[in-house]
Amino acid sequence: MTTVIFSWLFSLLFPWAFLLALGLSFGTRGYAKAEEKKFSFLTMFPQELFDGKDSSRVGARLFIYGYAFLDAFIGCFPLVVGFLPQSFLPFAVLFLVFGVVKNASLVVLVRAPAYEFKPHLLAFVVYAGFSILSMTMAAILFVNLRIYSQTLAVVFTVLAGLLCIGELFVIANPKLSQWTKLRASVDAEGNVDTSRPRPFVLAFSEWILFALSTLGTLVGILGFTLLALSAI
């Protein structure tokens, strides 16, 4: 049984992490080649990393779509395949629903430009909301699995809770309401030049949220798997 669990863990986590790494690598390389400058995670949106017709960024989009597809289903797997009691099956269904909605909004987020305010901001809010819901439910589930290992349950409950709090801080940042403000400077001839501040609050918030959500998936998978091993 232990071998089966580790085989499952490797067969899902490896392509999940590999697709993410490839997406970011191809995206940054394609951006640098097309724009002749480095991509800035402080000032630029995820959409800007994956937008473009060059082969590198087309590939990056495909890798991120693959990552999003796996991320949508990976959270419910430990609860579905019988590693944990069937009484937790409703949690698996909720994880699946939350994962599908969260990653569908991620796809919109990396495709809709920021100047398309409504779809872009809606995707950001939905992505944040369902990521927070997923981490909250994971924390609740870890508490209920403490019968298998008190120590592991406490550790992963705290980790899930901290990630959830971090995501709440991201979307509760009052500066988000002023995200369109640019930095202006005047040169010696009186010309006004505008540029994005560092960090550009909405773009940077999207990257932080993406990182926290990715860590949340990793915490959930490792936590459920280790607790399943403790239950054997």
The pLDDT tens digits of the residues spanning 20-34 come to 999 999 999 999 999
Q: Which of 229, 182, 187 is nearest to 43 (CA)?
A: 182
Express each pLDDT in 82-124 by its tens digit. 555 666 677 778 888 999 999 999 999 999 998 898 999 999 9
**224, two tokens:** 């459920």
- What distance in Å separates the CA atoms of residue 26 and residue 60, rounded to the nearest whole number? 5
- What distance in Å separates the CA atoms of residue 82 and residue 78, rounded to the nearest whole number? 7
- What distance in Å separates the CA atoms of residue 104 and residue 156, rounded to the nearest whole number? 26
- What distance in Å separates the CA atoms of residue 81 and residue 62, rounded to the nearest whole number? 28
Q: Are 123 and 171 in contact (CB under 8 A)?
A: no
The residue type at 23: G
Other Cβ atoms within 10 Å of 164 Cβ, number? 21
Its pTM stands at 0.90
Mean of the pLDDT values across residues 63-88? 76
CA dihedral 211, 107, 43, 129 (to 10 degrees): -60
* pLDDT confidence bin for 6, thresholds 50/70/90: low
